[in-house]
Structure 1
Amino acid sequence: MAPVTMPPVEEAKQVFNRLGYTVSGNGTELRAERKWRTVQVTAMDADDASAPTRVLADGGTTEGPLLRCFVTWKDYTGDLREQLRRADPSYEWAIIGVDGSEDYDVVRGEQGAVA
């Protein structure tokens, strides 16, 4: 596994590519597109996942994607889920927890359960 101080950008790209999305963008902000669906993907390191005030406050505009996915290391998905629940953003969100292997967990915002 990569150090938790590095955002899992490559892992985020791999997950969405395996799901059939076309992924574009540089750095930690990515755009995943498939058919009619566009997802704004944000890769977050351990520090960002524990205190993500910048990304939580930025819900974007109605012209941008209304679906957000935050990709972080599995050990930090719980912290991020709680931060998102408290912030109660106006957009639909999910969290993908990765560990450097091909396995990942999905936590959906509306259910708060691992899928």
Structure 2
Amino acid sequence: MVSHIGPPSEEAKSIFADLGYSVAGDGATFTAARDWKEVEVLAVTDDVDTPSGDRMRCFVTWKDYVPDLGDLLDRAAPDYDYAVIGVEEDGEYEVARAPSE
């Protein structure tokens, strides 16, 4: 596993901005909004909090953390819709889990 310094916060903001979302907030948790959709984005590594509530969430992590994050979220079984995005060092990304819409 590649060692990263912190969560991919700037990469997450860049992904959502490139997709046409308005990004608001600083740090590893921010809001991305487009049209009628508002998403709480959480840039994470191995320290993941699964907040409660009914708000759509997107967890963005380094690609090598995706399997562990998926396992954690499966065990937590949050009651909200969520997506998981894995980011590469070069900024490329892959949607590892899309929301169930």
For normalisation by structure 1, the TM-score amounts to: 0.78
Q: Give RMSD over aligned pairs.
A: 1.9
* Mapped contact 1:92–1:109 kept (Cα < 8 A): no
Match of 1:79 in 2: 68
| From 61, 67, 78, the counterpart of 1:89 | 78
- The structure with more helix, counted as a fraction of residues: 1
Q: 1:110 to 1:9 in 2, by over 3 A?
A: closer
SS in structure 2 opposite 1:91?
Answer: coil
State how far apart, in whole Å, the 2-side matches of 1:109 and 1:15 are: 15
Match of 1:16 in 2: 16
After the TM superposition, list the runs of 4 or more consecutive aligned residues in structure 1 that deviate by more than 3 angstroms.
Answer: none
Aligned residue-pair number: 99
Q: Which runs of 5+ in 2 are unaligned?
A: none
State the one-letter code of the partner of 1:41. Answer: V
Residue identity (%): 46
* Mapped contact 1:11–1:100 kept (Cα < 8 A): no
